[in-house]
């Protein structure tokens, strides 16, 4: 099924406007800065976050420049956070291509991230809506806090599912949650609708991250990161956390602690990945995704009246689970 075409259908014209405005926001005449900005623009993804803002806004009202500037501001904030995350994580790849810090260096990457963050603030100010400006500022706080929580969890000896979901809710899910709520805000949706859209966005974000984490146990080269990459960075995700909790094998616990201490070898990672698969870690994460999927459907059924938006959001929800990269 061509999920993306169904998802984009109700907002095709509006998405073209957003894409043009977003490219303009990252246009600059300076040589090195423009090179870095071009690198970011050339690896444009599927635009799932701005698409969500536009769909939710169109469900509750008419898309305007308030919606577009909110979407640009959020996408720029997200872009800046990824650049800074790559520096923190010492990542050399982003979406299968060299990261900004790999192409240039950490100093340039941090400055480029700062420039994009300032541009995000400029666009969000153009909404002239204090509620939207405050919402984006709080998102920036949540993303930073989520990253710090993830870093502090590396030093913990526990393998906690609760902490794992706390991190997700402070990072990926916070982004989708804010997309949905800001979309409703931009067309002056009611407090009740904003709240319900926010929950729906959070559910989408959790599903997205669960799927992303499952990819780390796959050998597929289409995903854009090597198998076990999360473990290389000291991260234990839900599949392995579940496997360790149902089968606390001392040897595997020792390997998991080596992940947290950043001292694990590639061969040991392969052993831990195999242990995770053999002990139902992938199946458990997939069940979690479908449970959340079922709950998220209620928002579409109860709060979305336009048939084309219903189809788009159902396809969006299905795509979060069925996507291959």
Q: Is 179 buried (19+), middle (13-18) or exposed (0-12) by CB count in 10 A? A: buried
* 250-276 pLDDT, tens digit each: 999 999 999 999 899 999 999 999 999
φ, ψ of residue 98 in degrees (nearest 5):
-60, 135
Cα separation, 239 vs 221, in Å, equals: 20
pLDDT tens for residues 285-304?
Answer: 999 999 999 999 999 999 99
The domain of 169 spans: 3-322
* pTM of the predicted protein model: 0.92
Scanning 155-190, the segments in alpha helix (DSSP H) are 161-170, 172-186
Q: Per-residue pLDDT averaged across 227-238, rounded?
A: 86
In this structure, the number of other CB atoms found within 10 A of the CB of residue 312 comes to 27
* Contact between 176 and 205 (Cβ < 8 Å): yes
**Do the Cβ atoms of 238 and 285 come closer than 8 Å?**
yes
Q: What is the dihedral of CA 230, 232, 236, 237, to 10 degrees?
A: 20
Q: In CATH, what number is assigned to the domain containing residue 17? A: 1.10.600.10
- Tokens 């139902």 correspond to 280
188 Ramachandran zone, left/alpha/beta (phi>0; psi -120 to 50): left
Which residues partner with 94 through β-bridges?
97
**The pLDDT value given to residue 52:** 98
Structure confidence by residue, pLDDT tens digits, 177-205: 999 999 999 999 999 999 999 999 999 99
CA 171 to mean position of chain CA atoms: 7
Domains identified in the chain, total number: 1
């Amino acid at each position: 099924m061509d999920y993306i075409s169904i998802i984009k259908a109700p907002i095709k014209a509006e998405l073209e406007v957003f894409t043009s405005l977003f490219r303009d926001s990252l246009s600059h005449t300076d040589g090195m800065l423009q090179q870095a900005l071009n690198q970011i623009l050339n690896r444009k993804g599927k635009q799932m976050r701005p698409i969500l803002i536009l769909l939710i806004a169109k469900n509750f009202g008419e898309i305007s420049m308030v919606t577009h500037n909110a979407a640009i501001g959020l996408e720029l904030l997200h872009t800046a956070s990824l650049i800074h995350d790559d520096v923190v994580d010492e990542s050399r790849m982003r979406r299968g291509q060299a990261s900004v810090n790999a192409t240039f260096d950490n100093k340039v990457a941090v400055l480029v991230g700062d420039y994009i963050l300032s541009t995000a603030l400029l666009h969000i100010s153009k909404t002239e809506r204090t509620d939207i400006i405050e919402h984006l500022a709080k998102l920036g706080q949540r993303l930073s806090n989520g990253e710090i929580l993830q870093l502090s969890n590396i030093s913990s000896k526990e393998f906690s599912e609760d902490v794992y979901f706390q991190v997700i809710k402070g990072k990926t899910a916070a982004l989708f949650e804010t997309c949905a709520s800001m979309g409703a805000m931009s067309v002056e949706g009611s407090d009740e609708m904003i709240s319900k859209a926010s929950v729906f966005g959070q559910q989408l974000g959790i599903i997205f991250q669960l799927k992303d984490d499952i990819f780390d146990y796959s050998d597929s080269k289409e995903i854009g990161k090597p198998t076990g990459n999360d473990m290389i960075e000291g991260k234990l995700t839900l599949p392995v956390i579940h496997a360790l909790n149902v089968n606390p094998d001392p040897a595997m616990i020792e390997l998991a602690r080596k992940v947290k201490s950043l001292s694990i070898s590639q061969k040991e990672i392969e052993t831990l990945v195999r242990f995770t698969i053999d002990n139902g870690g992938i199946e458990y994460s997939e069940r979690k995704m479908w449970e959340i999927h079922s709950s998220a459907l209620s928002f579409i059924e109860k709060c979305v009246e336009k048939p084309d938006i219903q189809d788009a959001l159902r396809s969006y929800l299905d795509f979060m689970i069925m996507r291959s990269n």
